[in-house]
Structure 1
Amino acid sequence: MSNVPTPVTSEGTDVSIDWRVAQFTPEGHPDMTSRCNNLGNYLRRQFERTRELRDLSAAIQAHQKAVALTAEGDSDMPLFLYDLGYSLQLRFLRTGDFRDLSEAILAQQRAVELTPEGHSHMPTRLSTLGNSLDCRFWRTGDLRDISDAILMQRRAVELTPEGHWDIAPYLTNLGVSLRSRFQHTGDLPDLSEAILTQKRAVDLMPEGHSGMPLFLYNLGISLQRRFQRVGDLSDLSEAILAQRRAVELTPEGHSNMPSRLSNLGNSLHSRFQRTGDNSDIYEAISSQQRSVELAPEGHSDVPSYLTNLGISLLSRFERTKDPRDLAEVISAFRTSATSDCGAPRIKLEAAERWAESLNLVDPPSPAIMDAFDTIICLIALTATLEQTLQDRYTHLQETSGLPLKAASTACSFDRVDKALEWLEQGRCLVWGQLTNLRTPLDDLRLHDEHLADSIMEVSRQLDTAGSSRTTSGEEITSSERVSLAEEARDHVNLARQWDDLLAKVRANPGFENFLKPSPWYTLLQHLPELGYVVVINVDERRCDAIALLAGQDKPLHIPLPDFSLTKCNEYRMSLSAQLRSHHLRDRGRNVMVDSECRDEGRGIRSVFPGGKDGESIVQGILRGLWCEVVKPILQALEMPKVDQSSASMPPRIWWCPTGPLSFLPLHAAGIYRKKSSETILDYAVSSYTPTVTALTERVKNSRTTENPVSGLFMTSQPNAPGSSPIPGTTTEVQSIYEVTRTAKLRVEMIEGGALTVAQCLDSMEAFSSIHLACHASQDAADPLKSRFLFHDGPLELATILQRNLKNADLAFLSACQTSTGEEKLSDEAVHLAAGMLAAGYRRVVATMWSIGDRYAPDVAANFYQYLLDHRDLAGGSGFDGAESANALHHAIQQLRLQLDDHSDQSLLAWIPYVHYGY
Structure 2
Amino acid sequence: MPIDDLTWRVEKLVDEYRWTGDTETILGAEASGDAVALWRAVRVVDLDTSSPSLDAQFTAASTALGRLHYWRYRESSGERRNAELARALLCLEAVSDDVHRVPAELNPLVGRFTDPDAQADTALTLLRASASGPDPALLDAGILLLTPAAAASPRRSPLRAARLSHLCLAHRLRHERDGSAADLAQAVSTGEEAVAIAAEHGTDAPASWSRLAFAYRCRYRLHADPADLRRVIDLFERVLALSGPRAALLSDLGTAYRLRHEHTGDPTHVERAVALSEQAAALPEGRADPSVLAGLGACLLCRYERSGARADLWRAAEISERVVAALPEDDPERATHLVAATSVLLRRHERSRALEDLNRAVELGEQALSALPEEDRRRADALGGLAAALHRRYLSAGSDTDLDRAVTLGGWALAAVPAGHPDRARASMDLAAVHLTRHARTGVLADVARAIELGEEVLASTAACPPKWLSTLGGAYQQRYPTTGAVSDLDRAIDLGERSLAATGEDDFALAGRRARLATAYWRRHGHSPGGPADGTTDRTDLDRAIDLGERAVAGTPDDHADLPGWLAGLAAARLARHRLGGAPEDLDAAVGLGERALAIVPEGHPGRSRLTADLCDAYLERVTGGGPSPDPERLRELAGTVSGTRTASPVDRVAAHHAVGALAQAAGQTGLAVTMLDAAVTLLPSVAPREAGWADQQHRIGEHFGLVGTGVAAHCAAGDPAGAVEIAELGRGVLLASQANTRVDLVELRNRSPRLADRFRWVCDRLNTPDFPADERRRWWADYDALLTDIRALPGLEDFLAVPRLADLRPAAAGGHAVLVNAGGDRGDAVVIRADGAPVTIELPGLRLAEVEAKVTALLTAVESGFSLAGVLLRRRVVAEVLGWLWDTVVAPVVETLRSRGGAPYRVWWLPTGLLGLLPLHAAGRPGEPGALDVVVSSFVPSLRSLRQARNRPPGGRRSDLTVALRHTPGLPELPGAAAEATVLGGAALVDGQATADRVLSALGRSTWAHFACHGIVDPASPAESGLRLHDRTLRLPEIGGLRLAEAELAYLSACSTANHGTRYADEVLHLASAFQLAGFRHVVATLWPLADEVAVKAARSFYGELPGTPVADEAAAVLNRVTLGLREEHPDRPDLWAPLIHSGP
TM-score above 0.5, yes or no: yes
**Contact 2:666-2:715 at 8 Å conserved across structures:** no
- Does 1:791 find its partner at 2:1041? no
Select 1:489's aligned residue among 776, 779, 784. 776
Quick one: distance in 2 between partners of 1:629 and 1:161?
64
Cα pair distance change 1:19/1:513, threshold 3 Å: farther
* 1:684 to 1:218, Cα distance in 2 relative to 1, 3 A: same
Task: Give the SS at the match of 2:1025.
Answer: helix
1:351 is the counterpart of 2:658: yes
1:246 matched to 2:557:
yes
Q: Deviation per CA, 1:565-616, whole angstroms, max 9, x where unpaired?
A: 45545554555565456x515xxxxxxxxxxxxxx6279758x9xxxxxxx7
Matches within 5 A, 1:601-640: 601=871, 605=875, 618-619=880-881, 621-638=883-900
Q: The residue matched to 1:824 in structure 2 has which SS?
A: coil
AA aligned opposite 1:85? A
8 Å CA contact 1:307–1:333 kept in 2: the answer is no
Q: How does 1:119-158 map to 2 (within 5 A)?
A: 119-141=421-443, 145-146=447-448, 148-153=450-455, 155-156=457-458
Of the three residues 1103, 1114, 1117, the one matched with 1:884 is 1117
CA contact (8 A) 1:179 1:222 kept: no
Deviation of residue 392 (structure 1)? Answer: 2.1
The structure with the larger Rg is 2
Distance 1:153 1:269, change over 3 A: closer
Residue 843 of structure 2 aligns with an amino acid whose one-letter code is: I
| Correspondence for 1:729 | 979
Q: Residue 713 of structure 1 aligns with which residue?
A: 963
Relative to structure 1, the CA distance from residue 185 to residue 751 in structure 2 (aligned partners, 3 Å threshold; closer, same or farther) is closer
SS in 2 for 1:854: helix
Using a 3 Å threshold, how does the CA distance of structure 1 residues 810 and 328 change in structure 2: closer, same or farther?
same
Tell me the CA shift for residue 728 of structure 1. Answer: 3.1
1:564 and 1:574 map into 2 onto residues whose CA distance is 16
The DSSP-based 3-state class of the residue aligned with 1:686 is strand
Contact 1:641 1:683 in 2 (8 A): no
Structure 2 vs 1, CA of residues 114 and 513 (structure 1 numbering), >3 Å: closer, same or farther? Answer: same
What are structure 2's unaligned runs of at least 5 residues?
1-316, 527-540
Q: Compare 490-499 and 390-399 and name the one that shifted more.
A: 490-499
Matched, 1:660 2:971: no
> Which letter maps to 1:626?
W
Matched with 1:768 is 1009
1:459 corresponds to: 765
Name the CA shift for 1:520/1:721 in 2 (closer, same or farther; >3 Å).
same
- The answer to whether the 8 A contact 2:321-2:341 is kept is no
Aligned CA-pair RMSD: 4.3
Once residues 313 and 641 of structure 1 are traced to their aligned partners in structure 2, the CA distance between those partners, rounded to angstroms, is 48
Match in the other structure for 2:101: none
Residue in 1 aligned with 2:951? 698
The change in CA–CA distance for 1:736 and 1:84 in structure 2 (over 3 A counts) is same
Amino acid aligned to 1:511: L
Q: Could you tell me which amino acid in structure 2 is paired with residue 70 of structure 1? A: E
- State yes or no: 1:200 paired with 2:503: yes
- The AA in structure 2 aligned to 1:845 is V
In structure 1, distance between residues paired with 2:1049 and 2:327: 64
**Residues 79-94 of structure 1 aligned to structure 2 (within 5 Å):** 79=381, 81-94=383-396
Residues 43-96 of structure 1 deviation map (CA, whole Å, 9 limit, x = unaligned)? 7877877734765665676678689x737xx85664554345334423432333
Contact 1:126–1:153, Cα closer than 8 Å, also in 2: yes
Among 398, 403, 420, which residue is 1:101 paired with?
403
Q: Kindly state the Cα deviation for residue 281 of structure 1 after the two structures are TM-superposed.
A: 8.8
Counterpart in the other structure of 2:172 = none
Instruction: Please state how far the C-alpha of 1:246 moved relative to its aligned partner.
Output: 3.2
Question: Residue 51 in 1 paired to residue 355 in 2?
Answer: yes
Scaled by the length of structure 2, what TM-score is found?
Answer: 0.62
Q: 1:560 aligns with which of 845, 854, 869?
A: 845
Pairing partner for 2:810 from 499, 523, 538: 523
* Counterpart Cα distance in 1 of 2:879 and 2:470: 59
Deviations 1:664-692 (A, max 9, x none): 2222233553xxx4233333322111111
Contact 1:867 1:880 (8 Å CA) reproduced: no
Selected match of 1:332 from 639, 653, 659: 639
In structure 2, the CA distance between the partners of 1:617 and 1:803, relative to structure 1 (3 Å rule), is closer
**Counterparts of 2:562 and 2:552 in 1: how far apart (Å)?**
17
AA aligned to 1:880 is V
- Residues 421, 520 of structure 1: 8 Å contact kept: yes
Query: Shift of the alpha carbon at 1:131?
Result: 1.2
Q: Quote how far apart the aligned CAs of 1:119 are.
A: 1.6
Q: Distance in 2 between matches of 1:269 and 1:818?
A: 38
1:382-461 → structure 2 map (5 Å cutoff): 382-461=688-767
Distance 1:456 1:232, change over 3 A: closer
C-alpha separation between the residues in 2 aligned to 1:445 and 1:37?
Answer: 57
After superposing the two structures, state which structure 1 stretch, 238-247 or 35-44, moved more.
35-44
Query: Cα offset for 1:915?
Result: 1.0
Q: What is the Cα deviation at residue 662 of structure 1?
A: 1.8
Q: Render the CA deviation track for 1:2-25: whole Å, top value 9, x for unaligned.
A: xxxxxx999767657889659xxx
- Which range moved further: 399-408 or 182-191? 182-191
Whether the 8 Å CA contact 1:618–1:904 is kept in 2: the answer is: no
Check whether the contact 1:202–1:216 (CA below 8 A) recurs between aligned residues. Answer: no
For 2:1008, the aligned partner's letter is F
In 2, the alpha carbon distance for the partners of 1:102 and 1:865 equals: 58
Q: Does structure 2 retain, via aligned residues, the 8 Å contact 1:575–1:621?
A: yes
Query: Does the 8 Å contact 2:1050/2:1082 carry over to 1?
Result: yes
Q: How many Å separate the matches in 2 of 1:457 and 1:38?
A: 49
Distance 1:266 1:777 in 2: 37
Instruction: Indicate conservation of the 8 Å contact 1:407/1:420, yes or no.
Output: yes
Aligned counterparts of 1:277 and 1:890: Cα–Cα separation in 2: 57
Q: Residues of 2 paired with 1:277 and 1:579: CA distance?
A: 40
Distance 2:944 2:551 in 1: 49
Paired residues for 1:291-306 under 5 Å: 291-292=601-602, 295=603, 298-306=605-613
The structure-2 alpha-carbon separation of the partners of 1:119 and 1:181, relative to structure 1 and needing over 3 Å to count, comes to: same
Partner amino acid, structure 2, of 1:678: P
Q: CA, structure 1 residues 784+288, in 2 after alignment: closer, same or farther (shift >3 Å)? A: closer
Amino acid at match of 1:917: G
8 Å contact kept, 1:757–1:795: yes
Residue 204 to residue 123, structure 1, CA distance change in 2 (3 Å)? farther
The structural deviation recorded for 1:721 is 2.5
What corresponds to 1:504 in structure 2?
791
- Tell me how far apart the structure 1 counterparts of residues 800 and 337 of structure 2 sit (CA, whole Å): 47
Deviation string 1:199-252 (CA, Å, 9 cap, x unpaired) is 6344585xxxxxx3x55344355457758954787975775555445316x6xx
Is residue 1133 of structure 2 the alignment partner of residue 903 of structure 1? yes
Consecutive unaligned residues of structure 1, counting only runs of 5 or more, are 1-7, 23-30, 206-211, 251-256, 469-486, 586-599, 609-615, 644-649, 738-746, 872-878
Mean Cα deviation higher: 301-310 or 780-789: 301-310
Tell me the percent identity. Answer: 24
Cα gap change, 1:329/1:313 in structure 2, threshold over 3 Å: closer, same or farther?
farther
Out of 175, 182, 190, which is 2:493 matched to?
190
Which amino acid is 2:713 matched to?
A: A
Q: Is the 8 A contact 2:338 2:365 kept in 1?
A: no
Change (3 A) 1:516 1:903: same
810-819 or 508-517, which deviates more: 508-517
Which residue of structure 1 aligns with residue 43 of structure 2? none
* Structure 1 residue 351 displacement after superposition: 2.4
**Which residue pairs with 1:802 in the alignment?**
1043
SS at structure 1 position matched to 2:563: helix
- Equivalence for 1:913: 1142
Contact 1:431 1:828 in 2 (8 A): yes
Q: In 2, Cα distance between the equivalents of 1:275 and 1:637?
A: 48
Kept after mapping to 2: 8 A contact 1:133/1:148: yes
Counterpart-to-counterpart distance in 1, 2:926 and 2:618:
48
CA 1:281–1:379: 2 relative to 1, 3 Å: closer
Task: Give the superposition deviation at 1:335.
Answer: 0.9
Q: Residue 178 of structure 1 contacts residue 194 of structure 1 at CA under 8 Å; is this kept in 2?
A: no
- Greater length-normalized contact order (CA 8 Å, ≥ 6 residues apart): 1
Tell me if 1:216 matches 2:520. no
On the 8 A contact 1:313/1:328 being kept in 2, the answer is no
Distance in 1 between residues matched to 2:622 and 2:899, nearest whole Å? 48
> If the length of structure 1 is used for normalisation, what is the TM-score?
0.76
